[in-house]
């Protein structure tokens, strides 16, 4: 691998579209250098950060969270404690969402099994009669 890669080469190696690479750069997640012709070039650190971003996004981390993790790493500290805390918080959020979706599922299931009577409903008594 060359010391510096163009955005096209980075995109091919990481599977991340060039527009996404530029987006991450605008948001301070990766850095590039500019050649005299204006082309962006990226080093190994940027390539590593982009692979990390891709994997972290697949695990449900927000770009803000990813930025926090990268900042901890760039400051010379080990980010795994930060990552573990974020994972715990995200797991709690997922548990809350699962509980809310389960309640919604039960409510919708009950609506499909309820008998509807013709009322003076404006649109549909199934929804309007739901509690």
Structural domains in the chain, sorted by start: 5-113 (1.10.1660.10)
Q: Dmax of the chain from CA atoms?
A: 75
Cβ-proximal residues to 106 (8 Å cutoff; 6+ apart), any chain: none
More confident residue, 39 or 97: 97
State the average pLDDT over residues 68-81.
94
What is the reported pLDDT for 91? 96
Q: Please report which confidence band the pLDDT of residue 116 belongs to, taking 50, 70 and 90 as the band edges.
A: low
**Tens-place pLDDT, residues 14-69:** 999 999 999 999 999 999 999 999 899 999 999 999 999 999 999 999 999 999 99
Q: Per residue, what are the HEC states of 12-25?
A: HHHCCCHHHHHHHH
What is the reported pLDDT for 1? 45
More confident residue, 131 or 59: 59
State the average pLDDT over residues 67-85.
94
Query: Is 74 within 8 Å of 57 (Cβ atoms)?
Result: no
The CA-atom distances, in angstroms, between 30 and each of 16, 54, 57, 116, 122 are 13, 12, 15, 57, 55
| pTM of the entire predicted model | 0.78
Q: Per residue, what are the HEC states of 54-101?
A: HHHHHCCCCHHHHHHHHHHHHCCCCCHHHHHHHHHHHHHHHHHHHHHH
Output DSSP code: residue 6: E
């Amino acid at each position: 691998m060359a010391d510096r890669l163009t955005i096209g080469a980075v995109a091919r190696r990481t599977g991340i579209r060039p527009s996404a690479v530029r987006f991450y750069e605008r948001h301070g997640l990766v850095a590039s250098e500019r050649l005299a012709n204006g082309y962006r070039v990226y080093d190994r650190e940027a390539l590593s950060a982009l692979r990390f971003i891709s994997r972290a996004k697949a695990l449900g981390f927000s770009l803000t969270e990813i930025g926090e993790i990268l900042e901890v790493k760039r400051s010379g500290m080990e980010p795994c404690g930060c990552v573990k805390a974020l994972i715990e918080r995200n797991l709690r959020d997922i548990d809350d969402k699962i509980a809310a979706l389960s309640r919604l599922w039960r409510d919708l299931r009950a609506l499909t099994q309820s008998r509807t009577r013709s009322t003076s409903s404006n649109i549909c008594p199934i929804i309007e009669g739901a509690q």
